[in-house]
Structure 1
Amino acid sequence: MNIKKLILFITIITLSLGLIACSSVKSKLMKARESALNGEISNDNKIGNARIKKIIECLESNDKKGLKKMFSPKALKEAKDIDGGIDYVMAFYKGKMKSRDKGSIPTDDSVEDGERKSELDCEYVVTTDKDTYNVFFIDQTVDTKNPDNVGIYMLQIIKESDRDKEFDGGTGKSRCAGIYRSATVKK
């Protein structure tokens, strides 16, 4: 009878230790996954912040060529009058940046058949010494299958006061290759 109790006791201890070990491994895996996700989000923020900084630098220095170089070859091919759009946005944006607030940087990552794509939809509120603007851009950061897609696909700069009537996050009327121009603006 004592041997049966001893075997039962050893079995219970062994199972308990196994469950504790599994729980510990699961906890470590969850922490590693969370850390990796935070690293990706942090990296996306860095990419978005670097891109908005370059966009503003080009606008403030009237660097049309520099701004155009940020667009993907696909966007340049699909855009209707990219040069006219750049002229428009250069004339539209006024002043020197005083502050920049990040609105959102949603990311769309996908892997299909070993090919990876990553797109950032970045929105910032930029305050200059002249006005406040909503700056939105779609930036394809990775496309292993079609490298011509890498770069800015769309750029929209509107006055923050017009956000409610003009902005839709590039999902509807405003999604276009190149520079978004309001329907009220003559092209």
Structure 2
Amino acid sequence: MRKLTCALLCLLMILSTAFCLEGCKSREQQLSEETAYEDAQMNAMNKKVVKYINEKDKEGLKKLFSRSAQKDIEDLDGKIDELMNLCGDNKIIYVHSDTPGSSGSLTIQPLSITGEFLFKLSNGKKYVGWISFCDKDDENKENVGLKTIELCNGSKEELPEDFIWDGISSGNPGIFIHYIN
């Protein structure tokens, strides 16, 4: 009886260790999947924003914003015009996104994704900015969509040392454009 009990305890310890190790692996895989998902969503949102800016499609860009952001942003049409005019007749020819950050997860909603992006215009000028959007919110669908575009008419290297991204840091929806020259 004693040998049977010891054998069962050993078997239980081996199984519990295996399950614990599998749980750690699953968490690592889950984080990897979430990061890949966030990267894909950020790249997709950047492509849409760039497409509408390049095509001067104000309505298309406006529709990217969540319904709640559209209600909260004062003079959204005017801000979109200002954003479209920032590039002038130049097209955005290159976009790079740094690794986005998020609040929430694939299982905890709302899932909001924020990331820095860099783009280059056809005239060679480089701009830096931030995009923030809500990707998932099953309880409040009006929050899903673009929340903030914040852009500076210069590269990271041209930003003043004390520069603050006030739109992203405030959490307020909108289009925020900073002129450094």
Pairwise TM-score range, normalised by the shorter structure: 0.7 to 0.9
Residue type at the aligned position of 1:162? L
Which residue of structure 2 lines up, in the alignment, with residue 178 of structure 1?
174
Deviations 1:25-64 (A, max 9, x none): 1111221222122112211111110000010111111111
The correspondence of residues 30-49 of structure 1 with structure 2, limited to 5 A, is 30-49=24-43
Report the TM-score, using the length of structure 1 for normalisation: 0.81
Report how far residue 103 of structure 1 moved. Answer: 1.7
Residues of 2 paired with 1:132 and 1:97: CA distance? 9
Deviation at 1:110, TM superposition (A): 6.7
Give the gaps of 5 or more residues in structure 2.
none
**Aligned ranges 1:6-155 → 2 under 5 Å:** 7=2, 11-94=5-88, 95-109=90-104, 116-130=109-123, 131-155=125-149
Q: SS of the residue aligned with 2:94? A: strand
So what's the TM-score if we normalise by structure 2? 0.83
Gaps of 5+ in 1: 1-5
Q: CA deviation at 1:171?
A: 1.3
Contact 1:71–1:178 under 8 Å retained in 2? no
> Which structure has the greater CA radius of gyration?
1
Deviations 1:50-92 (A, max 9, x none): 0000101111111111111100111111111101100101011
Contact 1:74 1:148 in 2 (8 A): yes
User: Secondary structure of 1:157's match?
Assistant: strand
Indicate how the Cα distance of structure 1 residues 163 and 29 shifts in structure 2: closer, same or farther if over 3 A, else same.
farther
Aligned length: 175
